[in-house]
Amino acid sequence: MQKDEESLKETQSLEEIQVLSERQPFNDVIDHFNKIEGNTPRASNAKLNSLPKPIKYLGYFIIFFFLIAFLLTIVMNIID
């Protein structure tokens, strides 16, 4: 069962890579911009799991901090 799911995920990711690699730039300006900036239409660039651990943890901390701050402001307004 797990092997079927893994093979399905692999084929889906291969299909995504093929579709993304076949995309053509919107116009020459966009193509030039993408070449200068190093943007490539590959799916590997969109994977957030490939970020370094310190950046991931910093992102988690920021999200957690804002959620706690939001909840605290709501609770403090209810208490007043």
Where do the domains of the chain lie? 1-46, 47-80
Q: How confident is the model at residue 11 (pLDDT cuts 50, 70, 90)?
A: low
Which residues lie below 8 Å from residue 48, measured CB to CB, with a gap of 6+? 56
pLDDT tops 80 at residue 41: no
Q: With beta carbons less than 8 A apart as the criterion, state whether 70 and 76 touch.
A: no
H helices present in the chain, as ranges: 2-22, 28-37, 53-79
Place of tokens 């490939």: 50
By residue count, the chain amounts to 80
pTM, 2 dp: 0.41
Q: With beta carbons less than 8 A apart as the criterion, state whether 36 and 18 touch.
A: no
* Cα 22 from Cα 16, distance rounded (Å): 10
